[in-house]
Amino acid sequence: MSQAIHTFKTIPQTTFRRLRNTPSYIFLVWRWGTWLYALIWIMARWPYLDPPQASTAIILLLATFIQTLIVTLYAPVLQIFLPDFLRLNRRQPARPQDERHTRQLTTKQRGTRQNRRPQPLAADEEAEIAPPMARSRNLYRDLVVYGLDVVICGLVIYFSGPFGRPPFGASSPFYRYGLSTIFVAAFAYHYRGGLLAALGYELFVLFGAYFPPPGTIPFTLQLQDLAGAVVDAPLIAILSAFLATLLESYTRSKRREQDNVRRQRAFMRVSETLVTGAHDRQKLLRQSAEQIRRGGHFERLIVALLTSNDSGAEGRQAEINTYIEAGLEASLAEDIASDESETFIGQVGQAGEKLVSFEPLDRGTAGDGYGLARLYIPFFKDGQVYLILGAESVRQTPFETKHDEFLSIVGPQLLVTLENMRLTEQTAELAATAERGRIAREMHDGVAQLVYMLSLNTETCSALAHRLADASSEDAQTLAPLAERLDKLVTISKQALWETRLY
C-alpha cells in the first residue's frame, strides 16, 4: 500500500491540475492507436496481398513498432514512473585516481538519479510543458532526432502506398500513423516546427503521388485525392501548435502567480528570522541563510562577511571574516569543495561585481544537460564589499532573473539588520562607558569631599595648637612638635585636595 502511495505521489500534481503532460499523452495514444489500426488493416487485407506486399507490410510493421517503442521508452512522461529504467548516456566515467574522487562520482550519480527528469523549483511550482519526445540542451541533436522521425514516417507512408487505392497519401494504412510526427514537432517547436514537419511529410506524399514505388499498379492521379492528402498535415500542425501555445501560456501565468505568492511567503519568513534573531550575530546568519535558501529554492546558500585590509602597494584586499553555509550537504557538498566557493567569494570581493556561472557536470554521470549553476551577489557598505550572498544548485539552466531579484531584495535586509546589531552593540558599549564614568565621578567627588573635610579639620586643630602654645609658656615646648606635625598634615591635605580636583 505504501509503495502504491509513493508511486502515486511521484506523479506531478500539474498532471491533474494543469494537464502538463497533455502533449505526451496525445502523441503516445495517437501513435500506438494508429499503429494498431495499421496492424488490424493489414491483417484484414492479408489474404489479398501478394508476397512482395506481404513482406513489405511485415517490415513496415516491425520498423514502426520499434520506432514507437523507442520513442515511448524515452518519452518524458514515462520518466515519471520509471526514472531509472533507461539512460540516454551510458558512458562510464574515467577510473578515479583516489578515494575522494570515487566518493564525488558516487554522490554525483546519486544526485543524478534524483534529478533526471525536469524538477520544479518548489513543491507547488508548475513545471514546463513536457515535450512528447525527450529533448536535450543540444539543439542540433534534437533537430536530427525530430527530423529522423519525420523521415521514417515519410518512408513508411511512401512504401505502404501501394496497399490502397490511390497508392499514396490517405489510402495508406500508415497515413494516420505518420501524422503523429507532426504532433511531435508542433508540440515541441510550435508553429514553425509543426509546419516544417508537415512540409517534410507532404513531400513524401507528393513523391509517392508522382513517383510511386516499384510494384504499384498504374493509376490516374485525381485532384480530389491529391488535395485530401495535402490538406490534413498543415491543419494538424496548426491545431497542435495552437494547443501547445495555450498550454504554455496557461502554465506561464500560473507560474507567475505562484512565484509572487511564494516570494511573499519567503520574504515574510526571512523578515521574521531577521527580527527574532537580531540579538545573536552567528545565530542570525545561520537562520537567515537557511530561510533564504528555502525561499529561493537553492540547494546551497553561502553568507560571507568580508573585511577590507590595507596591503601596501597592492591596495585593499577583502578577507573573509564570517563564512556560513546552508544547504543539502549530502547531495551537493562533495560536488563543490569549500575552497572553490571561497575562491569565488574572493573574486567577487575583489571585483565588486555580480558573478553568474553555469558549469556542465560530467556527462558520464549527469547527462541531460545538468550543470552546477552559481550566483554570487556583493552588497556594499561605505563603498566596500561587506556582504556576499552565494547560491548554488544543480540545474539544467543557469539561475534566472527571479533568483537574482530575490537575493537582491533579501541581501539589503540582512545588511541593514547586521548594521542595526552593530549600532545596538555600540550603543550598549557607550551606555556602559557613560555609566562607568558617572560612577567614577561620584566616587571622585566623595573622595574630594573627604579630603577637604580632613584638610579643614586639620587646619583647625593646627590653629588651636598654636593658640594654646602661645597662651602657656609651660606647654609651648610640649605642643610645639604637635603643631609642627599638624602644619605638615594641613599642607599634605591641601596638596591632596588640589590634585583630586585637578585630575
User: 414-472: per-residue pLDDT in tens?
Assistant: 888 888 888 878 888 888 888 887 777 766 667 777 777 877 788 888 787 777 777 77
Q: What is the pLDDT of residue 496?
A: 76
Given this model, what pLDDT does residue 199 score?
93
pLDDT at 65 over 90: yes
Q: How far apart are CA 348 and CA 307, in angstroms?
A: 13
- Position 239 confidence tier, pLDDT thresholds 50, 70, 90: very high
Write b or e for each residue in 262-298: b if 16 or more Cβ atoms lie within 10 A of its Cβ, otherwise e.
bbeebbebbeebbeebeeebeebbbbbbbbbbbbbbb
Q: Closest by alpha carbon to 173, among 29, 33, 39, 28?
A: 39
Is 60 exceeded by the pLDDT of residue 157? yes
**What percent of the chain is modeled with pLDDT above 70?**
76
Q: What is the pLDDT of residue 416?
A: 84
Helix (H, G, I), strand (E, B) or coil at 395: strand
What's the confidence (pLDDT) of residue 34?
A: 93
Local confidence band at 328 (pLDDT 50, 70, 90 cut-offs): low
CA dist., res. 105 & res. 334, Å (int): 9
Higher pLDDT, 277 or 315: 277
58 phi/psi in degrees, rounded to 5: -65, -45
Q: Which residue has the cell 515519471?
A: 80
For residue 247, pLDDT beyond 70: yes
What is residue 200's predicted lDDT score, i.e. its pLDDT? 92
- Identify the band that residue 218 occupies on the pLDDT scale cut at 50, 70 and 90: confident
85: DSSP letter: S
Cis peptide before 166 (omega within 30 of 0): yes
Task: Assign 328 to helix, strand or coil.
Answer: coil
Residue 52 has pLDDT above 80, yes or no: yes
pLDDT at residue 100 greater than cutoff 70: no
Q: Give the torsion sign (CA, 125, 126, 132, 134).
A: negative
